[in-house]
């Protein structure tokens, strides 16, 4: 078992590794050291656990690098998603039309604009994407009214599991005519997928693949619209065809659960080394009360009482930090 001092040694190693290897950096500036200056490295080492991006494994970055993209052909294409690739979560996929996803936030704004007479609501501690554009944050389904619309992540951003009231929330929306947008961005990374019991209220499903594929600058994925498709969506799909094409290629070549299943051994390894329970979502672990890692939550800046550890830096630097710990005698 490690202690806090060793943990911070590893964080410095991981920050230096990101600086020297661009394949271990995220697509956004906050996900990498700004330079090799000691204050910039210190800043990255201090915050390396914050947030959660796609794992940049050698296998997946190699697969992406090897794709032969004919941009003209992709632009002219009208590729169709084989919805049998998607998990069965109780949605009747034949009732939906699939189009390329532009961005999750843009899709949410389009949804809100379509229902401009309604009050948009989200549940407290949902995805910060939605918190930035929606003012009304509720604690319980009783706070939703018939003139509202709901945008919700599934699994739920707060803890990356199903919201404890999920079925009751959807039932309430069905009974009160409340349209719902579900965001499935984390779905390919969880183990226990459940079938929802009440889905007639779901009008829109956004599914970015950028937490599976390291494509944060391209925004790949797809969007499911309940039939009949609204005219402005049909005429102006606003989709990112490149990201959509890559996402479909991933489903064809690798399968929906490939990244999840490929990292399970690493999750088990590092949860064992850090003495942490294994979480249902494969990129994180739970931090028990009193553990030396309290205060290192990936949600630290947004959900103060969160107890979830980001394991992606350990996966990306597995060989390096394992060798370091053995050399130091921390591991036998």
What token pair was written down for 126? 């949902």
Distance CA 1, CA 11 (A): 16
In this structure, what DSSP letter does residue 181 have?
E
What token pair was written down for 109? 């704004």
Least trusted range by pLDDT, from 40-49, 279-288, 309-318, 319-328? 40-49
Encode pLDDT of 147-156 as tens digits: 999 999 999 9
Q: Is 236 buried (19+), middle (13-18) or exposed (0-12) by CB count in 10 A?
A: exposed
Distances (CA, A) of 6 to 11, 29, 47, 97: 9, 27, 16, 51
Nearest to 181 by CA among 207, 161, 163: 207
Q: Are 280 and 160 in contact (CB under 8 A)?
A: yes
Global pTM?
Answer: 0.92
> What is the pLDDT confidence band of residue 21, given thresholds at 50, 70 and 90?
confident
CATH label, 79-253, candidates 3.40.50.300, 3.40.640.10, 3.40.50.2300, 3.40.630.10: 3.40.640.10
DSSP H or E stretch at residue 273: helix 258-274
Question: 3-class SS at 169?
Answer: helix
Encode pLDDT of 304-322 as tens digits: 889 999 999 999 999 999 9
Looking at the chain, the domain(s) classified CATH 3.40.640.10 span 79-253
Question: 3-class SS at 228?
Answer: coil
Encode pLDDT of 157-186 as tens digits: 999 999 999 999 999 999 999 999 999 999
Distance CA 108, CA 138 (A): 18
Encode pLDDT of 219-264 as tens digits: 889 999 999 988 777 766 778 899 999 999 999 999 999 999 999 9
């Amino acid at each position: 078992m490690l202690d806090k001092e060793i943990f911070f040694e590893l964080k410095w190693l991981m920050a230096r590794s990101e600086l020297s290897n661009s394949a271990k950096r995220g697509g956004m500036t906050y996900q990498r050291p700004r330079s090799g200056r000691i204050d910039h490295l210190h800043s990255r080492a201090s915050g390396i656990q914050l947030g959660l991006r796609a794992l940049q494994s050698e296998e997946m970055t190699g697969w992406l690098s090897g794709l032969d993209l004919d941009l003209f052909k992709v632009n002219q294409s009208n590729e169709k998603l084989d919805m049998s690739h998607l998990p069965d979560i109780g949605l009747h996929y034949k009732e939906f039309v699939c189009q390329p996803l532009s961005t999750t936030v843009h899709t949410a704004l389009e949804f809100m604009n379509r229902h401009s007479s309604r009050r948009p609501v989200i549940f407290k501690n949902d995805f910060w994407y939605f918190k930035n554009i929606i003012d009304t944050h509720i604690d319980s389904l009783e706070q939703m009214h018939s003139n509202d619309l709901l945008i919700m992540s599934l699994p739920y951003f707060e803890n990356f599991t199903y919201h404890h009231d999920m079925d009751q929330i959807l039932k309430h929306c069905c009974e009160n005519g409340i349209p719902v947008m579900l965001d499935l961005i984390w779905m390919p990374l969880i183990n226990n997928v459940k079938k929802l019991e009440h889905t007639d209220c779901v009008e829109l499903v956004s599914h970015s693949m950028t937490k599976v594929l390291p494509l944060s600058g391209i925004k790949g994925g797809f969007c499911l619209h309940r039939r009949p498709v609204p005219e402005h969506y049909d005429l102006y799909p606003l989709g990112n065809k490149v990201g959509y094409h890559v996402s479909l290629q991933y489903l064809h070549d690798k399968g929906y659960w490939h990244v999840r299943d490929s990292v399970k051994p690493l999750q088990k390894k590092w949860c064992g080394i850090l003495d942490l329970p294994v979480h249902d979502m494969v990129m994180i672990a739970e931090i028990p009360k009193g553990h030396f890692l309290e205060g290192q939550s990936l949600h630290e800046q947004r959900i103060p009482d969160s107890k979830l550890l980001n394991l992606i830096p350990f996966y990306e630097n597995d060989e390096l930090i394992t060798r370091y710990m053995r050399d130091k005698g921390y591991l036998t």
